Amino acid sequence: MDYKLKIQDLSATDAAKDVAIEVLSRSRNRPNFGNAGELENLLSIAKNNYQKRMSHLPHSARSPEMSFEPQDFDPNYKRSANATSNLKELFKDVVGCEKIVNKLEGYQRIAHASKQQGRDPRDLIPTNFVFKGPPGAFSNPGPPPRMEC
C-alpha cells in the first residue's frame, strides 16, 4: 500500500492505513480475492470518498496535498463501537434468543480483545453461523412479525 500511495503521489495517516488493512482483511474472506486488484479498488474508493469529503469544506480549508483519513477507506470504520447495540437491535423482535445474543456478545468481546493484542480473531471464534426459522417469515410488507428462537 505504501508503494501504491507513493507512486501516485498520495499519502494516508497511520489510522487510515490501519482501516485500509482492516478492509482488505475483510475482503480476503471473499471468493476471487486478489491483493493487488483489491488494493487498487480500495484506493479508487478512497479517492472518491476523499473528493466527497473535500467538496463539503470551504476552499480555504482544503489542503493542497491529498492525504487519506480513515473515513476515506471506510465511511463506517467505527462500526465496532456500536456493535453491542447493533446486535441487540438485530434481535429485538426475536423472542427467546437471549442465550444466542449472550454468546454473540461474548464473541464480540473476544474479537475486540484479540484485535487490541494484534491477533486475528478468526483464530479464536467461529465466523459462520446458521440461523433456522420458517421460510419467508419476513416477506410480508409492514413490520416484521415477532419470531421465536
pTM of the model: 0.63
Q: Coil, strand or helix: which one is 43? A: helix
Q: Which residues on neighbouring strands pair with residue 94, listed in sequence order?
A: 147
Q: Which of 86, 130, 126, 112 is nearest to 22 (CA)?
A: 112
Taking each helix axis as running N to C, give the angle between helix 14-27 and helix 35-55, from 0 to 180 degrees, rounded to the nearest 10: 130
Q: Which residues pair with 147 in a beta bridge?
A: 94
Q: Give residue-wise pLDDT tens across range 64-92.
A: 788 999 999 999 888 777 777 788 888 88
**Banded model confidence at residue 134, pLDDT cuts 50, 70, 90:** low
Closest to 12 measured CA to CA, from 79, 78, 75, 70 = 70
- Asked whether the beta carbons of 20 and 46 are under 8 A apart, the reply is yes
105-114 burial: b if 16+ Cβ within 10 Å, else e: eebbeebeeb
Q: What are φ and ψ of residue 30, in 5° steps? A: -85, 150
More confident site: 79 or 141: 79
pLDDT at site 121 = 83
CATH code of the region 2-73: 1.10.8
The per-residue pLDDT for range 1-32, each reduced to its tens digit, is 999 999 999 999 999 999 999 899 888 877 77
Domain with CATH 1.10.8 in the chain: 2-73
